[in-house]
Structure 1
């Protein structure tokens, strides 16, 4: 599984690192980035929850 954050759509709400800090973090520009790819199998559920809970709907999972 690969997680990606669309930087053009991210609003910097910080919800994805709250769901899954092992995969998402906030960059210096205040926008989220997926810094762990591929997503570890033990983090797949939390990564999906982060994508579903994103208010900007800017996280894609492949």
Structure 2
């Protein structure tokens, strides 16, 4: 089974910084204040914070994709 995957849309980012404050192990901000993704597949210890950052992003610039269950 593959790990969850985080994606960011820097074009949608408004630089609020909620992601970097909520999950600094997964997100940062560049010099313009836009989101930087540090770990597209965050370790298990940081996944809950990454999910929370998705919900807190006022621009909806972050998505968190859970892997599809393997039916084999």
Same fold judged by TM-score > 0.5?
Answer: yes
Superposition deviation, residue 5 in structure 1: 1.2
1:4 has 2:4 as partner = no
State how many pairs are aligned: 62
Runs of 4+, deviation exceeding 4 Å: none
Q: How far, CA to CA, are the matches of 1:55 and 1:44 in structure 2? A: 19
What are the ranges of 5 or more consecutive residues in structure 2 without an aligned counterpart? 66-72
Number of the residue aligned with 1:15: 18
Q: How far, CA to CA, are the matches of 2:57 and 2:40 in structure 1? A: 19
Higher helix share: 1
What are the ranges of 5 or more consecutive residues in structure 1 without an aligned counterpart? none
Among 26, 30, 41, the alignment partner of 1:27 is: 30
Q: Deviations over 1:17-61 (max 9, x none)?
A: 110000000023320021113111011100000000110011011
TM-score (norm 2): 0.79
Larger C-alpha radius of gyration, 1 or 2? 2
